[in-house]
Structure 1
Amino acid sequence: MKRFFPLAAALALGATPLLTACEEVSLPDLDTSIKVKSLRFIGEKIVPFQQQYNGTTLGGFSGIDYRADNDTYYIMCDDASALQPVRYYTAKLAFDKSSFTGVTFNSVTTLKRPDGTNYPSTATDRYNSIDPEGIRYDAASKHIVWTSEGVRNVTVTPPVLTNPFLRESTTEGAFVADYLVPPIFQIKATENGTRSNGSFEGLSFTPDGRYTFTASEEPLYEDGPRADFNVEGSPIRIIKYDKATRQPIAQYAYRLNAVHKAPIPGDQFRLNGVVEVLALSDTKLLAMERSYAVGATPDYSVKIYEIDLAGATDVTNMTLQGTSYTTASKRLVLDVATTGINRVDNIEGFTFGPKLANGHRSLVLVADDNFSNSQISQFLVFEVMP
């Protein structure tokens, strides 16, 4: 999302070398359940600000996924065609269990609208606006699935009301099909449904390939207030899909933490929401909460939780405000600030990478710099301790 412009000075960004692939590449395994007890930090790499690649501007990295058969990462760019057409990148990351030595970009692909045309820039057509966020590679279909949060602007006439989506495309960028989005998530001119820029940031397939999960970043208007500095427990919704049919089969509520700090001044922008999910089984996921407050120190906080949907109420036909239901449980796995890195930035995506030499999985996080020189395009690598 491109709405955060922190006051912190820009960090020095050094060039990243072009290096070889990871120490070991693993093929997809047949586990239907992945265990994550804790995460051990391996290293960080930063892509220089406004670095160019094949006529495009690198940055805005809002989602990432790993393709095991060719050791490639798919990275979503959330540029809404303002700089260049909506696109995703592929890259190689070079790391092992003790060091992270480089990020190398290999390709860029333009994502097309269903009619085969490019998404227009909001500078020329604000009514076809888009907010690309999440991306996953599906090894079964050899397609990608990606998300847009939707856009709501009622200050103009007629209002801009662009619905969120989950969209399947070929790896060449051509439209294949849309997932069915429940009507309650539609963008409306009234205070109903999805808040602007508050919908589907992340998505994930279960290890067995049967289901797709996505989550709204913020609560629907009907479900309650947004997270705030003194507002704990705002509920967002996680949708479970049958991947084969692209039809929703359940919805679950998840409660957000409060915003980590009060903004300065106190009336300035602040937010906390779920910006990514990563399925561990058909009932357990990792969820990333990213909190931001203008002028605060630190301005960002990013925490990863293991969440469990077993026992949670299916809230498909419920409004969450003033209703009794059981939410997903959550267990803190990592506060990114405990890694000791110089800056926790606008981290919005994560994926399991290849297994390390000791057989443990790796986990890769990526930050969206909002194309601002006060932020960083940041990659973080961890060892998964099962």
Structure 2
Amino acid sequence: MRKCFSIAALFLACTTVPLVTGCSDDDSDTELPTPTSVSSLRFIGEKIVPFKQDYNGTTLGGFSGIDYRPDNNSYYIMCDDAATFQPVRYYTASLDFNETTFSGVTFTGVTTIKRPDGSNFPSAATDPYNTVDPEGIRYDAASKHLIWSSEGIRNVGITPPALINPFLREANPDGTHVADFALPPLFRMQATDNGTRSNGSFEGLSITPDGRYLFTAQEEPIYEDGPRASAGAAGAVIRLVKYDKATRQPVAQFAYKLDAVHTAPIPATQFQLNGVVEVLALSETKLLAMERSFAVGATPDYVVKIYEIDLAGASDVSSLNGLVNASYTPVSKRMVLDVATTGIRRVDNLEGMTFGPKLPNGHTSLIMVSDDNFGATQISQFLAFEVMP
């Protein structure tokens, strides 16, 4: 999610490292074994990509999604550059880590993602009515396609307003378009205070281990579901949407209650938010959810927590046109990790999360990545963890 705010300068020199060539481990499985539950995450290490490093004529940064492909031991990384610097794109990379050490990140490719007609997406500066806001990415082993998301665009400050719906879209690995997933009408962008909020839609997505379903999450509440999260006010509600992957049709929606923003911004009138920026399916009913909280001027400015959530017993709210004063049962949630407890010097704008290869001890690994907003005061960090079942 791209946000326009200023953040205090950070000390990068002592943590920034050059890219290192390597591969994750010697695991050669072509199917990724997914844990059915995550009791905790043990921190292995961190690597930081230097600010605005060039790769094949493109600017590294804006890493808003990541997914692991086990058959070739590689990672797909979404860049949320909306064609401001270079064309809309994703990267491939290899990561070198084991149970005790995270040695490096090596970028191995960059691919332009195309519009359905085969053309490049324009930037908002050149065409505000046909731009895009890329966010999430997953590799579908069954089809060998990529599924990616856009939060959509809602700009009511121009005439006529720019109202570009959020989407889930399937693409070939070469970036060409395959198909769109159906969008529930309630999530359409509108010029009035209805539907999806600007910059608050589909960030996280994940395919269930059996390949049958895909989940996505609204980052923030739609207008009909109530106010956004704020400091001191827990309980803002977003929706998780469950899709039949084969038909690309939504089959259920579930309500998820957000934490309050971790602290008030300074001054209090400045920007604040908390929302779900990634989900990672453990089964058809259990997922990990990444909540990312931000407050301008606060220390810390970012707080990121990982929850295991359970949909069993939760209501299907797809028939409800608004959740304010409605009767429903939300998903349950249990905190797995507050990323600050790892002891890293800075928790930045983490937005992507994927399971990785098995570690030598047989446990699954997990990787997180941050979006630096292409800002010099932020960092592009990769974090490696061991999943404790």
Normalising by structure 1, report the TM-score: 0.98
Superposition deviation, residue 10 in structure 1 = 4.6
| Letter aligned with residue 23 of structure 2 | A
* Counterpart position of 2:146: 144
| Letter aligned with residue 279 of structure 1 | A
CA–CA distance in structure 2, aligned partners of residues 10 and 216 of structure 1: 33
CA–CA distance in structure 1, aligned partners of residues 105 and 34 of structure 2: 30
Superposition deviation, residue 129 in structure 1 = 2.1
Deviation beyond 3 Å, 4+ runs, structure 1 = 28-33
Q: Which range moves more in the overlay, 11-20 or 277-286?
A: 11-20
Decide whether aligned partners of structure 1 residues 94 and 33 sit closer, same or farther in structure 2, where only a CA change above 3 A counts. closer
CA–CA distance in structure 1, aligned partners of residues 34 and 372 of structure 2: 34
CA–CA distance in structure 2, aligned partners of residues 168 and 375 of structure 1: 31
| Letter aligned with residue 362 of structure 1 | S
| Letter aligned with residue 279 of structure 2 | V
Decide whether aligned partners of structure 1 residues 10 and 115 sit closer, same or farther in structure 2, where only a CA change above 3 A counts. farther
CA–CA distance in structure 2, aligned partners of residues 204 and 310 of structure 1: 18
Q: 3-state SS of the aligned residue for 1:5?
A: coil
Superposition deviation, residue 128 in structure 1 = 1.1
* Counterpart position of 2:348: 345
* Counterpart position of 1:260: 262
Superposition deviation, residue 8 in structure 1 = 3.2
> Is residue 2 of structure 1 aligned with residue 2 of structure 2?
yes
Give a deviation string over 1:4-43, Cα, whole Å, max 9, x none.
4312335225342422211232424486762211100000
Give a deviation string over 1:266-314, Cα, whole Å, max 9, x none.
0000000000000000000000000000000000000000000000000
Q: 3-state SS of the aligned residue for 2:351?
A: strand
Count of matched residue pairs: 386
For the 8 Å contact 1:290–1:301, the answer to whether it is kept is yes
**Percent identity (aligned):** 69
CA–CA distance in structure 2, aligned partners of residues 31 and 84 of structure 1: 36
CA–CA distance in structure 2, aligned partners of residues 66 and 234 of structure 1: 31
Q: What is the 5 A alignment of 1:212-291?
A: 212-291=214-293
Give a deviation string over 1:30-87, Cα, whole Å, max 9, x none.
8676221110000000000010000000000000000000000000000000000000
Q: What is the 5 A alignment of 1:294-373?
A: 294-318=296-320, 319-373=322-376
For the 8 Å contact 2:31–2:71, the answer to whether it is kept is no
Q: What is the 5 A alignment of 1:56-71?
A: 56-71=58-73
Q: 3-state SS of the aligned residue for 1:337?
A: helix
Give a deviation string over 1:151-194, Cα, whole Å, max 9, x none.
11111111010100000000000000000010000000000000
Root-mean-square deviation (CA, aligned residues, Å) is: 1.1
Give a deviation string over 1:312-365, Cα, whole Å, max 9, x none.
000001121110100000000000000000000000000000000000000000
For the 8 Å contact 1:5–1:372, the answer to whether it is kept is no
Decide whether aligned partners of structure 1 residues 126 and 292 sit closer, same or farther in structure 2, where only a CA change above 3 A counts. same
Q: What is the 5 A alignment of 1:72-111?
A: 72-111=74-113
CA–CA distance in structure 2, aligned partners of residues 361 and 345 of structure 1: 24
Decide whether aligned partners of structure 1 residues 380 and 211 sit closer, same or farther in structure 2, where only a CA change above 3 A counts. same
Superposition deviation, residue 121 in structure 1 = 1.1
Q: Which range moves more in the overlay, 4-13 or 309-318?
A: 4-13
For the 8 Å contact 2:43–2:384, the answer to whether it is kept is yes
